[in-house]
Structure 1
Amino acid sequence: MTSADVIVIGGGTGGYSTALRAAALGLTVVLVERDKVGGTCLHRGCIPSKAMLHAAELVDGIGEARERWGVAAHVDAVDWAALTATRDDIVARNHKGVQAHLEHAGVRVVHAAARLTGPRSVRTDDGREFTAVRGIVLATGSRPRTLSGLEPDGHTVVTSDDALFAPGLPGSVLVLGGGAIGVEYASFHRSMGAAVTLVEAADRLVPLEDADVSRHLARGLKKRGIDVRAGARLEGVVRLPGGGVRASVRGARGDVVELEAERLLVAVGRVPVTDGLDLAAAGLAADARGFVAPADWSRLETPVPGIHVVGDLLPPPSPGLAHASFAEGLLVAETLAGVAGAPVDYTAVPRVTYSAPQTAAVGLTEAQARELSYDVVVNTMPLTAVAKGMVHGQGGTVKVVAERGGRVLGVHLVGPHVSEMIAESQLIVGWEAEPGDVARHVHAHPTLSEAVGEAFLSLAGRGLHQQ
């Protein structure tokens, strides 16, 4: 039996960030991962999907160059093999980087599946046993939610884990699920020339975001030719003998339509992975949704002292986002090392959808703020009200939700490159700034972020370009 200060089960973003920080604080760490360190985000999710979305942005740019700027350019073809080779190279280099960081930090990486055998002990499927002096960290992540009768085959019916690795580019795609993942994949396939139908059961896309964000996003996607069907439900699917699927979809008004597509992408959320973990052996149990809830959110510690949870195993308010997992990993590592740290402020964790148009938000939506009985004041600023927004010509908006006479509660962005603009708003919300605090700072001109500054100038009674 091998002893270490900390045993981390799962090498995704939450797990390896915990391991790196704990090692930096002088603790001995064993990281057990049954697949590759980096997890879903690095190998099947965030990184490969954003690489592909960048390629899609380049394709869209060629179209804009021709249609708006008089550049005689066309996309003759997409070399799928070359595109995926570039994607895989980016993933591989990131993977090597994570491995090198862990090795340099002195983290012992064990490639095996692990299960709990007690509140301080772990056994791997190859027979090795480990005990933790200070604690165990559960970071086993999540997998795509599937629907009965729609088992993925990696070709005709796919999930977000395998959509980018299915062979070739389909001519048509039916995307089931209008959250961030479904919207991103719908956007990618449309950029690559596919006919895309996007079906969401809620009455609007990205239903957890501000209603105005949903409205602007849907408008932008429809303008690109995506068939957006919100408030619609899948009634049944038939796999066609010659390939593809035929789906029955009931619309918001009760009408049923038959839709055919070469590929069906199921993007209806993710579920925590606890299979084989044997939580009961350590005195733990998952809740009805499969999450392992902490008893103390300030330490992310479960009801069993010394066992902590990070990443997708956590229930809301943890958002199941990679960057939130990094913060959770830092917190747990510092807790185990006896270093005092502040709990994760989930309200200040940014949320981004990398579609075209993009969305980015931090803090409360207008509806949430009103539900919490804030006296709310709202300002919206179109991106096209500033010169750089006109240059991009893709529309978009900035929406600020603030407490009347008080702090900023939320900032919501839609438009080009807003994923790179949200960091400023994260600080504004996280530091509880008031509109007047932001209005004192000068934004560069001309930039898209200037629209953020203008929105706060208006709220502070100093507006220039907003009437």
Structure 2
Amino acid sequence: MSASSYDVLIIGSGPGGYIAAVRCGQLGLKTAIIEKYPTLGGTCLNVGCIPSKAVLESTELYHKATAQFAEHGIAADNLRADLPRMMERKDKVVSKVCDGVVYLMKKNKVDILHGVASFEDATTVRVVPTDGGNGEEQRLTARNIIIATGSKPSTLPFITLDKERVITSTEALALRELPKHLIIVGGGVIGLELGSVYARLGSKVSVVEYTDAIIPSMDRTLGKELLRSLKKQGLEFYLSHKVTAVAREGETVKLTATPAAGGADLQLEGDYCLVSVGRRPYTDGLNLAAARVEVDEKGRVKVNDELQTNVPGIWALGDVVRGAMLAHKASDEGVFVAERIAGQKPHVNYLLIPNVVYTWPEVAGVGYTEEQLKEQGLAYKSGSFPFSASGRALAGADTEGLVKVLTAADTDEILGVHMIGARIADIVAEAVAVMSFRGAAEDVALMSHAHPTYAEAFKEACLNASGLGALNM
């Protein structure tokens, strides 16, 4: 068994782990990263963010061709969707992005080890190779160890995931046949994005959600608008329904759910059931007890405000700790931890980490929701602007949605921005930038925005929140 010593040892190569490794390398720290799978990038790059956006883009183009091209004066007859080819393109995108992470590791002199990591004590990690036993087992020591092992899909106690017909998002991103009827348990981000993919291609899609709204953690206005839009696209929804059984019978999956309002149980039959009820922190096999690292009641690694565990020199970040399970949150924390280790004093403002849903229309929110402001008793003003009044949206035939801006009643400071519409995933960055400097709605109203653009809707909503009327279309 070989042994090596490092300044920083990172377990997990997702957006938190690999970004931490890059920053550690840039800061001159001797760094190694351990990944149990053959490719770097974690869930996000391999079976999450990147592949889902690849197939969302492909199916969005197909949907536009079938539903909107005629309006633009483009005749596109005899179109067909080739799902296997879409998946092949997705695989190529994933491969290219993962190769880019390897390049970044080499560029920043980060050692890469493929194997299963487990703690032997607070400063020592054992790495058992995962290449079929051809590699050599290693024992690594480090002054600092970062746990960045991410998360895995959750399920319900009575549901058996066979990963063939009763599947998670991982399998849903690798199907080579189009489902006839895809049943989705959960109306959150992952379920709606993948539901959009298959509905666009012609599958019947049924979403069963326990609460009374989709994307329930976001501003309620967004959920209402998105529900209306997705229904137009053919998705059907059963809100306020508690799933009580999911069973596979041959090529059929049967779901039973009880409505909160009472009455007869809902019975659905489909050929696939996607279980999308969230994700759980993944620490399996780490042997945290050997390092005396504590976890909470939800299985998350306990950390303080500096992302340090209860054990000096051991840090944790991303999905494996408290907070939103977002790739960019993990990346921000990766930079934060690396710079803390180097003696710097970085900062992460968790309120200003945006949340995005990549359906079409896209959805994004940052800051306080209107429900949170009401709950806290904060005085606020609200302004909005519909894309139906946007010249750019009209020209692009993407007029669904709106931008809503929430401001402090006394200072006009922007407290929250909630958007649904075209290009929203990119436009929300402007809101984050302004809010990072505690900007007011009037500040945005005074900024010049190129015309015509979708981003003008943000300016117009700020004008409305400040008590001024719309200036543009």
TM-score by length of 1: 0.95
1:139 corresponds in structure 2 to 148
In 1, distance between residues paired with 2:296 and 2:176? 37
Q: Secondary structure at the match of 2:170?
A: coil
Match of 2:138 in 1: 128
Equivalent residue for 2:165?
156
Aligned match for 1:455, one of 455, 461, 466 = 461
Query: Could you tell me how far apart the structure 1 residues matched to 2:379 and 2:281 are?
Result: 37
Moved more, 380-389 or 170-179: 380-389
Moved more, 380-389 or 272-281: 380-389
Question: Which residue matches 2:364?
Answer: 360
Displacement of 1:165 in angstroms is 1.0
| 1:61-72 correspondence runs (5 A) | 61-72=64-75
Is the Cα–Cα contact under 8 Å of residues 370 and 406 in structure 2 kept in the other structure?
Answer: yes
Q: Which moved more, 1:351-360 or 1:44-53?
A: 351-360
Q: 1:261 aligns with which of 263, 266, 270?
A: 270
| 1:118 alignment partner AA | D
Please report the RMSD computed on the Cα atoms of aligned residues, expressed in angstroms.
Answer: 1.6
Unaligned runs of 5+ in 1: none
Cα offset, 1:3, TM superposition: 0.7
Tell me the CA shift for residue 66 of structure 1: 4.2
CA separation of 1:394 and 1:248: change in aligned 2, threshold 3 A? farther
Question: Which residue in 2 is equivalent to 1:169?
Answer: 178
Q: Which amino acid aligns with 1:454?
A: E
1:340 to 339, 345, 357: 345
One-letter amino acid of the counterpart of residue 63, structure 1: T
Which residues of structure 2 form unaligned runs of 5+?
130-136
Partners of 1:329 and 1:369 in 2: CA distance: 30
Q: Which amino acid aligns with 2:155?
A: T
Matched AA of 2:139: E
Q: Which moves more between the two structures, 180-189 or 58-67?
A: 58-67
Give the Cα separation in 2 of the matches to 1:268 and 1:417. Answer: 27
Q: Which residue of 1 aligns with 2:254?
A: 246
Counterpart AA for 2:194? Y
CA contact (8 A) 2:21 2:110 kept: yes
Checking the alignment, whether the CA contact within 8 Å between 2:294 and 2:309 is kept in structure 1 is no
> Partner of 1:6: helix, strand, or coil?
strand
Aligned to 1:328: 333
Matches of 1:194 and 1:137 in 2, distance apart? 42
Q: Specify which of 222, 228, 241 is matched with residue 219 of structure 1.
A: 228
Q: Structure 2: which amino acid aligns with 1:209?
A: M
Deviation at 1:123, TM superposition (A): 1.1
Structure 2 residue aligned with 1:92: 95
How far did 1:79 drift?
1.7
Partner of residue 38 from structure 1, selected from 18, 41, 63: 41
The equivalent residue for 1:313 is 320
Cα distance in structure 2, aligned partners of 1:286 and 1:429:
33
TM-superposed CA distance for 1:80, in Å, is 2.1
Corresponding residue for residue 401 of structure 1: 406
* CA-CA distance at 1:68 after TM superposition: 2.6
* 8 Å Cα contact 1:9/1:139 also seen in 2: yes
What is the alpha-carbon distance in structure 2 between the residues aligned to residue 74 and residue 418 of structure 1?
30
Shift of 1:402: 1.0
Give how far 1:87 is off: 0.7
Deviation at 1:25, TM superposition (A): 0.3
Local SS of the residue matching 1:360 = strand
Return the alpha-carbon distance in structure 2 between the equivalents of residues 75 and 210 of structure 1.
40
Question: How far does residue 218 in structure 1 lie from its aligned partner after superposition?
Answer: 0.5
Q: Is the CA contact 1:204–1:214 (under 8 Å) kept in the aligned structure 2? A: yes
CA shift for structure 1 position 197: 0.5
Contact 2:84–2:176, Cα closer than 8 Å, also in 1:
no
Q: Is the 8 A contact 2:87 2:176 kept in 1?
A: no
Superposed displacement of residue 235, structure 1: 2.0
Measured in 1, the distance between the counterparts of 2:254 and 2:173 equals 21
Counting only pairs closer than 5 Å after superposition, residues 431-446 of structure 1 correspond to structure 2 as 431-446=437-452
Q: Which residue pairs with 1:294 in the alignment? A: 303
Check the 8 A contact 1:362/1:429 in 2, yes or no. no
How much does 1:465 deviate?
4.5
Does 319-328 or 231-240 show the bigger shift? 231-240
Q: Amino acid of the residue matched to residue 310 of structure 2?
A: P
* One-letter code aligned to 1:357: P
Residue number among 363, 375, 378 corresponding to 2:379 in the alignment: 375
Aligned: 1:26 with 2:36? no
Cα deviation 1:403-425 (Å, max 9, x = unaligned): 11221110000112211211101
In 2, the alpha carbon distance for the partners of 1:196 and 1:307 equals 44
Instruction: Give the stretch that moved more between structures: 200-209 or 230-239.
Output: 230-239
SS at match of 2:378: coil
CA contact (8 A) 1:65 1:73 kept: no
CA displacement 1:29-63 (0-9 Å, x = unmatched): 01111112100000000000000000111011112
Task: Answer yes or no: is the 8 Å Cα contact 1:160–1:267 preserved in 2.
Answer: yes
Q: CA offset at residue 95 of structure 1?
A: 1.0
Q: State the alpha-carbon separation in 2 of the partners of residues 393 and 128 from structure 1.
A: 55
Once the two structures are overlaid, the 10-residue window that deviates more, 386-395 or 321-330, is 386-395
Q: Take 2:252 and 2:173, find their aligned partners in 1: how far apart are those partners?
A: 17
Q: Is the 8 A contact 2:294 2:310 kept in 1?
A: no
Distance, in Å, in 2 between the alignment partners of 1:313 and 1:238 is 30
Q: Secondary structure at the match of 2:184?
A: strand
